[in-house]
Amino acid sequence: MEHFDMQAQAWDNDPMKVERAAIFAKEINDFIQPKGALSALEFGCGTGLLSFQLKDYFKTITLADNSEGMIKVLRAKIKAAGIENFKPLLIDLLKEELEGPKHDVVYTLMTLHHIPDVDAIIKVFSTILESKGYLCIADIVKEDGSFHASFPDFDGHNGFERGELNTILAKNGFKPVYYNEPFEIEKKVNDELIKFPVFLMICRKDT
């Protein structure tokens, strides 16, 4: 968490992150077509890059993160932009219960691989989603560990294999309805430039 607190101030300076958010926002909006009528929650929102791209398409967006540094930057951005349909929330959804009404859509970008217990957070998503609500997961395709090679303390997942993720989702009442790999992250690993595909999986809550 300290890592993200320290990176928060400079997070938006990376053009790749901005481009990535725009691409996934378009995919989510094109498929779900919320048309300003639905409520959403972004899990692991960081500085809100993805939600800023989606702000005109949802009625309300709750932006949840457990990094104090990220939420601080986000609150300043919301104030500066005069956005009224955002609700920033410093919360650990694996430890704290989300209050208020359920949401129509939950989306998360490059956060799930940081969560050791994926099954537990998918359960949480199910509880905060309306019946027939959508869960949108954007994350790295399964890789050999090179992506986090420079972070020896990393204790998350080396991306996700589609079938394995489908199994966890099905167990928690979700049915995949869309899958695409619209983006690649280029990283230099041991002086070699490697491309890491990033997928978007959209699921419907069956119950």
Could you read off the pLDDT of 1-11 as tens digits, one per residue? 466 666 767 77
Per-residue pLDDT at 12:
84
pLDDT of residue 128: 97
99-124 tens-digit pLDDT: 999 999 999 999 999 999 999 999 99
Fill in the amino acid letter for 60.
T
Domain that holds residue 77: 2-205
State the greatest distance between any 2 C-alpha atoms of the chain, in Å, as a whole number.
Answer: 49
Among the residues of the chain, which ranges form H helices?
2-7, 15-32, 49-54, 68-81, 118-128, 162-171
* CATH code of residue 31: 3.40.50.150
Number of domains in the chain: 1
Burial of 20 (0-12, 13-18, 19+ CB in 10 A): buried
The predicted-structure confidence for 129-180, as pLDDT tens digits, reads as follows: 999 999 999 999 999 999 998 888 899 999 999 999 999 999 999 999 999 9
